[in-house]
Amino acid sequence: MARAYNFSPGPAALPEAVLRQAQADMLEWGDAGASIVEMSHRGPEFLQVARQAEADLRTLLAIPDDYAVLFPAGGATTQQALIALNFAGAGQRVDYVVSGHWGKTALKQLVSVDVNIAASGDSDGFRTIPARETWRLSKEAAYVHITANETIHGVEFRPGWGRVPPDTGDVPLFADFSSSIASEPVDVSKYGLIYAGAQKNLGPVGISVVIVRRDLLERAGQPRADIFDYRSQLANESMLNTPPTWNWYLLGQTVRWMIEQGGTAEFDRRSALKSKLLYEAIDGSGGFYRNEVDPSVRSRMNVPFFLAEAALDAAFLEGAREAGLIGLKGHRVLGGMRASIYNAMPVEGVQALVDYMQEFRRHHG
């Protein structure tokens, strides 16, 4: 089988050009006599790779100089725990707006802080995001946390919802951008902190990105081990211990590819096109396929959808596989299907899915 169109939610498809480059680099890095993954992280070769990745990420996301960038090992869940440890005092109030599964996961990582759920879409199955006017924010909160894009529920803060990012006054806004980072231009200066696990738009699993306003790092936070301290990590270029060098290298390659493709403006354009194609196919199917998310907050990255008859799910997935379309099975929390259409998914891949959906419906509708 040739490489399929891969709609996996994460780890997700990487650009083929990046995989080919990685394949070439795997055996020997330049004329170093060894692969980049076999060399010291303190050596000049890897330091160059790491610093270039940061420089390129700063270019791609237009990160202002008064923001630091960290590349912590591990995933987004770890950052969900670390942000409270680093930025909230013991017992201090933190505000969370929950718009889906990952917002709930973020809550589970909190200990020793006073959690206020300022708003939640739970009561309507996360099909909407509560309007900003309904949020019950606390004046003294250490931060307000949102999930920019909910990967499972397919719910994203979009302009149709209201002002994005939402205004939180003097309290810094912290956002989980794991599944939508770099899918459109974002004004970083509106956020106190942005974090993302890399395994969707930024490349491989095993490394995260944290973008944080430098003045926030002066906060005392809570007692924590040095390895969990963002300040120590920053002072050591995210290399207090051995970083996941291969993942960092791959992230850098993926970021470079996005810049070469035209940057976030171009991915904004492609995301609009791809998501429109798919939602139109679902909405125009006469109920054969359905997506129940309020159109004003539908995600452009993750499109969950259901077949009218769940009994057809297995046949749908089997046929999709035969048509070279993989990774479409929905998350166990929701069931049904989900197409994740991150930056590495070409428009042709979404078109192939839409064509398949129409053909499947002709046979089974």
Q: Does 179 contact ligand PMP by CB under 6 A?
A: yes
Whether 102 is catalytic:
yes
Q: Is 147 in the site for ligand PMP (CB under 6 A)?
A: yes
Active site residue 176: yes
From the candidates 102, 161, 246, 248, give the one annotated as an active-site residue.
102
Whether residue 77 is annotated as binding a ligand: the answer is yes
**Contact between 291 and ligand PMP (CB under 6 A)?**
no
Rounded distance between C-alpha atoms, residue 52 and residue 8, angstroms: 28
What are the residue ranges of helices labelled H in the chain?
16-27, 44-61, 76-87, 101-108, 230-235, 245-261, 263-283, 313-322, 347-364
Nearer to ligand PMP by Cβ, of 155 and 357: the residue is 155
Confirm if 71 and 243 have CB atoms less than 8 A apart: yes
Q: Is position 151 an interface residue for ligand PMP (rule: CB under 6 A)?
A: yes
Q: Tell me: is residue 343 an annotated ligand-binding position.
A: no
Please report whether residue 56 would count as binding ligand PMP according to CB under 6 A. no
Measured distance CA(271)–CA(150) in Å, rounded: 16
What's 184's DSSP letter? S
- Respond yes or no: is residue 294 known to be catalytic: no
Q: Minimal distance in Å, beta carbon 354 to ligand PMP?
A: 24
Residue 109 annotated as binding site: no
> What whole-number distance in Å separates Cα of residue 6 and Cα of residue 344?
9
Rounded distance between C-alpha atoms, residue 245 and residue 239, angstroms: 10
User: Is 105 within any annotated ligand binding site?
Assistant: no
With CB under 6 A as the rule, give the number of residues binding ligand PMP.
11
Residue 270 three-state SS = helix
199 is in an annotated binding site: yes
Catalytic annotation, pick one of 104, 200, 274, 329? 200
Stretch that binds ligand PMP, among 174-182, 211-219, 232-240, 357-365 (CB under 6 A): 174-182
**Contact call for residue 76 and ligand PMP (CB under 6 A):** yes
CA distances from 99 to 58, 147, 157, 178, 342 (A): 28, 7, 9, 14, 20
The residue within the footprint of ligand PMP, chosen from 67, 102, 126, 267 (CB under 6 A), is 102
Give the residue numbers marked as catalytic.
Answer: 102, 176, 200
